[in-house]
Structure 1
């Protein structure tokens, strides 16, 4: 096959697609330039059907051997694909990256010779090699897809907004899958760090939804992925956030000691600075200690959480999954004080959290109502506690009566002594939970 048209190798969009190994765009632009999929397939030793699928974006190219076949078949200079110079390249010696010790005059003469015939493919490759050598030392441009995915991660951070958790989960995982092509190709270190940070955020938020839906095993698996991505990103704040959110899985599903261990790891990672992750870790630790019948440790963690919250910068106080607002703080305090039996302070936090909760915060408001019902049980009115919990559960759409909400209601039912289980209100709660 002849060389690619000169205008393609001078097109910034085509060059970007090559650098990102986005062969969907490479094949599509080549096709638009008049090269048929059959010619591309023949030149690259690929099936025509696969070339067509790649161009449509229904399959991708990840194998290095395939990338090298495409480079050779379409006469794409190796430097544009992050490969070594191809055997057919006459101007490979012009790469300053490969020949740091060469005489500058020799490079100049080689470049003049390559350009003597005009802007041919070898000449353009030489120009690109020289520019790439310098460009790689500058702050790199990130792929446009990364900016889009970072914006998507930010928008998911605002929570459910009245949407069903399963719908949010489907959208999250769909966008999360879009990170794979970017992670699969070499990236400059700053871009790789941003990619890993976004991966950690989106994996962590996926884990949150799975936790809320009651899928503990899957939630922990996604948190493990989030933790690996956060560690690779070098963002200690994100790593602490992931550990603190992961601690809420054993916290809410009957393993408070494991939750306390994770929360303490998160506190260590967060350090003493007043960050959203640091406050969250302290608040989760307080809840875990309360559930583990360690009231002194719980109250010490609550004091630390309040002190950090007082110093938290305004930029980290918004109401998202990735930050830590006043409403979220009172949600955690509500559960901690309820578990400790401090019903006065628990009710204060419940009222404040409900005041700050948006009407669309269906799950959060229900959990606060169940905390309030549990306070009634602590104060000796188990019948009223059951009635209020039944009302909270039956007022929910069916998709919300699972996972965390059901677990919190079940905790209340199991806290009621067995001799009262025959009473009507207790039986009604049991029946709603069974349904």
Structure 2
């Protein structure tokens, strides 16, 4: 690095990067030392290991959030960062929460609101920008360039929580094009690994979007691509996560045995180490086993999932499509208990889960209400069951009213007592399910 060769300190180099590259001071300190988000997070965890169990254990996602002001680190974490960078809080820009929350990266488009240029001109703009990126990277990908791409994908992972699947696919395909454009050139091994990881993440979200839209063949193909990319990266946690996520397709559309096999494979890959991925895999396995009617194994898997979730501290600091916060754990627990016929316990879990969902979210609250409807059907209350299911469909925003919701609503009719499946409430629910997309 030129600054180092000139005898400048990391602090001086960081200040120069901050002034001239329009990045936060915290990010500038990392870049001044030539560290990626991943390597810096690993070194921070190693540094914190000597400070007891309460020491912060940041991951690359959290570090990226802190650097861009999306989250503000806790006081203990600020101390750790100051020690790591041999700086004061002021020197790394962590003295004012409001300032950190207001930080943005000039020149980085907000993919939630930035309109796309249409037609051939838009394609020319995209091609020109990628060519400039390649030139700036001098035949490779610089750490700063990779971090910026990583930030955009992290942003998409947050956006995914509440965005309808159809427009989300446009965002995901654009990001995939950027990743693959860089991966097409020969890169150093560490860079190629990171690009494979990003490809796996984006492919998984693409597959999940297609599943929600009912395009099952393409969804299955994209899950295959995601698994291949994750395997290519060698990242065990990501390999396991992709498999656990891929189990959602056979869980909703069959065969259920494949869902169990995928979740077990994911759990075995992590060797039972407490993490968000292991807790997710165990909860998904319990839900699939319950729907298969294997009550004993489902109960064992539920206990295992609860233990793993508690020990992992899942979703404590991040909330995106690859986190596993309590509300999602409860959603999976609800699915297992509902399938097992434990309706009273399932209702309590559903109520707790609904209270944890933010106002702006996706289809999970509707899925919870449909499970409450299934509980009513199992409790021999067909009118309540059909009313709840119909309300879940009609109160969901039209863009989110996808085939996966309708498939779960049909499950309500399937579990109704046979004499009531042709009753007026059941007929009205069928009429709601037959409405064209967007109809009220």
- Aligned in 2, Cα 1:367/1:159: closer, same or farther, shift over 3 Å? farther
Contact 2:314-2:325 at 8 Å conserved across structures: no
Distance 1:56-1:274 versus aligned 2 partners, 3 A rule: closer
Partner of 1:218: 218
For residues 234-290 of structure 1, the C-alpha deviation after alignment (integer angstroms, 9 at most, x for no partner) is 111011110000001100113211111111111111221111110111011111111
SS of residue matched to 1:359: coil
TM-score by length of 2: 0.66
Using the TM superposition, give the Cα deviation of residue 57 of structure 1 relative to its aligned residue in structure 2, in angstroms: 2.4
Unaligned runs of 5+ in 1: 1-52, 62-79, 83-139
- Provide the residue aligned with 2:337 in structure 1: 337
- State which of 39, 57, 65 in structure 1 corresponds to 2:127: 57
What is the aligned partner in structure 2 of residue 148 from structure 1? 148
Offset of residue 229 of structure 1 = 1.0
Q: CA deviation at 1:333?
A: 0.6
Displacement of 1:403 in angstroms is: 2.1
- Give yes or no for contact 1:287–1:336 (8 Å, CA) kept in 2: yes
Query: How far 1:297 sits from its partner (Å)?
Result: 1.0
The corresponding residue for 1:203 is 203
- Aligned positions of 1:343-422 closer than 5 A: 343-422=343-422
Does the Cα contact within 8 Å between 1:149 and 1:198 map onto a contact in 2?
A: no
Q: Distance in 2 between matches of 1:347 and 1:164?
A: 27
TM-score, normalised with respect to structure 1: 0.67
Q: Would you say the 8 A contact 1:54–1:60 is kept in 2?
A: no
Counterparts of residues 120-135 of structure 1 (less than 5 Å):
none
Structure 1 pair 325–221 and aligned structure 2 pair: CA distance change class (3 A): same
The CA distance in 1 between the partners of 2:161 and 2:315, in whole Å, is 21
Q: Number of residues paired by the alignment?
A: 310
Task: Give the 3-state SS of the residue equivalent to 1:271 in structure 2.
Answer: coil
Larger mean Cα displacement after TM superposition, 410-419 or 271-280? 410-419
CA distance in 1, matches of 2:162, 2:321: 15
Q: Structure 1, residues 11-37: CA drift from partner, whole Å, max 9, x if none?
A: xxxxxxxxxxxxxxxxxxxxxxxxxxx
Cα distance change on mapping 1:183 and 1:411 into 2, 3 Å: same
The corresponding residue for 1:433 is: 433
Q: CA deviation at 1:398?
A: 2.6
Per-residue CA shift, 1:377-411, capped at 9, x if unaligned?
11111121001111111112333222211111011
> Take 2:126 and 2:418, find their aligned partners in 1: how far apart are those partners?
63
Residue in structure 1 matched with residue 324 of structure 2 by the alignment: 324
CA distance in 1, matches of 2:127, 2:352: 49
Helix, strand or coil at the partner of 1:186? coil
Distance between the aligned counterparts of 1:383 and 1:392, measured in 2? Answer: 14
The 1:200–1:233 alpha-carbon spacing in structure 2 relative to 1, beyond 3 Å, is same
* Shift in Å, 1:320: 2.0
Q: Aligned ranges for residues 295-314 of structure 1 at < 5 Å?
A: 295-313=295-313
1:62-141 matches, within 5 Å, as 141=142
Q: Distance in 1 between matches of 2:434 and 2:147?
A: 46
Cα pair 2:282 2:304 within 8 Å, conserved: yes
Runs ≥4 residues deviating over 4 A? 53-56, 58-61, 314-317
Q: Which has the larger radius of gyration?
A: 1
